[in-house]
Every structure is written in C-alpha cells, then in structure tokens.
Amino acid sequence: MDELVGRLVADVGIDRDVAQKAVGIILAFLIKEGPADKVKALLDRMPGAEAAAQASEGGGMFGMGGIMGAGTQLMGLGMSMGDVQNVTRIVMAYAREKAGDDAVGEIVGAIPGLSQFV
C-alpha cells in the first residue's frame, strides 16, 4: 500500500495520513458493497489491502452507507469533491494494475454509482 499512498500524495497533493485513511475507506467500501468473491480476489492481489480496509472506520457517517457514505467519510478527511474523485480514480487504476481490467470492471459494474468516479 506504500506505493499507492505515495502516488496519492504526489498526484493529488494530500498528506500521507489522509492518503492512508482514504485508501482504507475506499477498500472498506468495496468490501461492503461489492461482490464478495470478486473483491476478495482483488484484495488478494494488493498486499496490505485488507489491513488498510480494517484500519478504516467504515460504515459512513451518520449511518449513511453506500457511495454517499464513503464520499462523506472522504470529505470528512478534508478532501474536496475533486480530490475524492482523483483519489478514487487513482486507487481503482492501481487495482487494475494489480488485478486486471476485467476483475475491476466486474466490481465497478456491480456497485451502483461507482462508475462515475472511475
């Protein structure tokens, strides 16, 4: 996950702590909302991904789940909507590098609203 966090710091300009938390939030969202078998296969190809997801608070804010809950959590870290979109795109691009377009495409296709962020 260090490589991914480094990309976020360099490309988006957020600090390392925010980048680490953002990765965890996004991965926890995928675990909660995506097809379990596909997400498990993806995480298996991303060393440290499960630990990052477990370290995030998960669940959204004010009981809000889904993509809105994840977005609210990310903005709660001080990120703008543009930062949220950029971070999500970079995380998903990294996932594609590790697991392939088809695997990530199946996950994105199964989660309502995610395609607008990737």
For the chain, the domains span 2-110
Give pLDDT, residue 63.
59
Pick the range with the lowest mean pLDDT from 29-33, 52-56, 59-63, 107-111. 59-63
In tens, the pLDDT along 34-80 reads 999 999 999 999 999 999 999 885 444 555 778 889 999 999 999 99
Q: What percent of the chain has pLDDT over 90?
A: 81
Among 60, 75, 83, 87, which Cα is nearest to 5's?
Answer: 87
pTM of the model: 0.92
